[in-house]
Amino acid sequence: MANRKRNIQMKFDVTKEERELIRQKMAQIPTQRIGSYLRKMAIDGLIIYTDTTDIKEMNRELHSIGVNINQIAKRVNETGSIYEEDIKEIQERLNKIWQLQRTILLTLP
């Protein structure tokens, strides 16, 4: 193995379903050797990276709004009144979410 051009071995495990998918994709190109196919895909295959930072920030905002709404609902049930500041805060957070959604949609391909 020392005299071979490719003398470093790499191994990984797959499920039966994954192996079948790999074989189906292999059938689309003229190769019968799985090693050649996997090497070609690992080196030249298309990599798609999706930045989900904005989505995570939006989820944090949604969670925060949910917590605030629960606190407001509890206070309303206890006192029978709602505060204008609470409504304004929810509206501001909702506006931020709409802005984040617009940003996400504009950055999608």
What pLDDT, in 10s, does the model give residues 6-41?
A: 888 889 999 999 999 999 999 988 888 999 899 989
* CA gap 25, 27 in Å, rounded: 5
pTM as predicted: 0.48
Helix ranges (DSSP H) in the chain: 16-26, 34-44, 53-79, 84-107
User: Does 1 have pLDDT greater than 60?
Assistant: no
Q: Report the pLDDT value the prediction gives residue 109, as an integer from 0 to 100.
A: 67
Do residues 60 and 97 make contact, with C-beta atoms less than 8 angstroms apart?
Answer: no
* CA gap 68, 87 in Å, rounded: 10
What pLDDT, in 10s, does the model give residues 86-96?
A: 888 888 888 88
